[in-house]
Structure 1
């Protein structure tokens, strides 16, 4: 945000941009960054699309969680397609040395990009809320097959994001230099609102980490009661939900860590870029060159987002065996006949015993009963 505040009231030699061609306005460095980002976006688009299909096919999660994970993937796809809508006209404009984009197209693409970005930013917090409800109402959560909670949470995400995008578009301040750039280079933000949002988001991410740790500890403690009357205190659906809460929390925890790391790195980079450019204003004589440097620094956030969109499906798919099985089916890598693995408990012990193990356990219990029998001479 410091990058945009730095140039709102900057004075410059207007003829520097009036007589500059489109290639000079865009800059070679920006094109190189876009050429690096473009293949990353293509890879991310493929993985997010596959993950969206995997979530739709799987039945190992509650419908609310599947709904939220699908929305998570959808928000990534919206940002990816909006980046295509911004990058491709800019590459074509640089090639033809003529601005081929339209102000309505570019402004709409940036609004769509921001909307998807805000929805994706809130996804971790929303998933924590859903997992908290699943932990509190564990006795009857699994029996409720309605997606009402998921619909309400997703609706809140999109309404908040649409309102925030509208607020930014209405209250945005476009600096003087930006008016002379190509349409897809212009930014429309309310800097004060963006600062508040990103700081609040960073705090919420840290709270989400703590909440996930607490939820994991609570559900693991409940599951340990299996050796002391666990079946008497919880119904079958509740026992299944407790075990699934442990699995899904372990699955989602790496996603939260990756998302938190991406948020911290992006904020640190933007903050450091702002401080660096403030120092450069004392040495560089051309505010236009400083502005181009600022926009080049800003592309680092889009690179980070593309990398996160690639990592996100892998963290989820390889964190849960059911998702991995569906992923292999989607990629048509699971056509051959496979021997099923022996089912196990959450702690790794076999769930089904062989005849020998069952016989040994039977006599061990008989011996234990005999040892503690009060009629024993």
Structure 2
């Protein structure tokens, strides 16, 4: 069965909105995963590490898909004002005012909660780490490792979290801007011309959110490679492009010494012979 232009654009926009919302919620679920690692630090590394990431990954996509379902069920309240102007099918905003405001609230609340939560989790782990009694009690090695890992991972994630923070602020600002004009249009239909002037007939201002999301999506792996050199080395090794391979350096002549390449075993034997000679000489 052939899909009409409006049906195709509804599906495409639904996929777009769910992906964009999932990206915006990534900061929230990183905070939740680190929170779980802090609360259940005693056995998180052994057992719960295989459970929580799977749950959080499913929730990260389930929430946006639920919002799309809610938008479909609320389609009777879709904004019809844009239909009065010439437009392409995909220039229609399929989000209803209700779901648009729900989207803003979820992302805004999640953004605030993630920033506050990550700060509190980091301070809590630092406090545990600085409590010296913990290293001399019956705390098992797994819990000690998890506390140290929570701090280390936060340090490694800091550039990524900063990147998320910047783009989250921009995204929330754009969404709040759009929410303001949606509210104006809903309460005062007579001001629709003002909305079109500032928001665009096809919702062009909303494309700023798409651009921000796209730039963030491109920047994330670049920042991840910069923060995790080992990950970049593994990728290069898989692609057969290992520029980190150790290569023998050319030998520079030193007057009075003959320089040659020697196997590691020969070098080791020579090293200990020299140590023996130094320590046993009279």
SS at match of 2:93: coil
Q: Which residue number corresponds to residue 206 of structure 2?
A: 298
Q: Provide the TM-score with structure 1 as the length reference.
A: 0.53
Q: Which residue number corresponds to residue 226 of structure 2?
A: 318
Contact map agreement 1:216 1:246 (CA 8 A) in 2: yes
Q: Deviation above 6 Å: which 4+ runs of structure 1?
A: 273-278, 281-291
**Once the two structures are superposed, what CA deviation does each residue of 1:350-377 show, in whole Å capped at 9, x if it has no partner?**
xxxxxxxxxxxxxxxxxxxxxxxxxxxx
Q: Which residue number corresponds to residue 256 of structure 2?
A: none
Structure 2: 5+ residue runs without aligned partners?
A: 248-282
Q: Provide the TM-score with structure 2 as the length reference.
A: 0.69
Contact map agreement 2:18 2:64 (CA 8 A) in 1: yes
SS at match of 1:112: helix
Contact map agreement 1:139 1:238 (CA 8 A) in 2: yes
Q: Which residue number corresponds to residue 125 of structure 1?
A: 28
Contact map agreement 2:37 2:150 (CA 8 A) in 1: yes
Contact map agreement 1:138 1:238 (CA 8 A) in 2: yes
Contact map agreement 2:31 2:118 (CA 8 A) in 1: yes
Q: CA RMSD in A?
A: 3.6
Q: Which residue number corresponds to residue 196 of structure 1?
A: 102
Separation in 2 of the partners of 1:133 and 1:268?
A: 29
1:169 corresponds, among 48, 72, 82, to 72
Q: Which residue number corresponds to residue 60 of structure 1?
A: none
Task: Go from structure 1 to structure 2 and tell me whether the alpha carbon gap of 1:178 and 1:291 turns closer, same or farther (over 3 Å shift).
Answer: farther
Q: Which residue number corresponds to residue 258 of structure 2?
A: none
Question: How many correspondences in the alignment?
Answer: 238
SS at match of 1:318: helix
Contact map agreement 1:262 1:308 (CA 8 A) in 2: yes
Structure 1: 5+ residue runs without aligned partners?
A: 1-100, 340-377
Task: Go from structure 1 to structure 2 and tell me whether the alpha carbon gap of 1:144 and 1:231 turns closer, same or farther (over 3 Å shift).
Answer: farther
- The structure whose Rg is larger is 2
Contact map agreement 2:104 2:176 (CA 8 A) in 1: no
Query: 1:249 Cα shift?
Result: 1.5
Separation in 1 of the partners of 2:124 and 2:179?
A: 43
Q: Does 1:250 align with 2:155?
A: yes
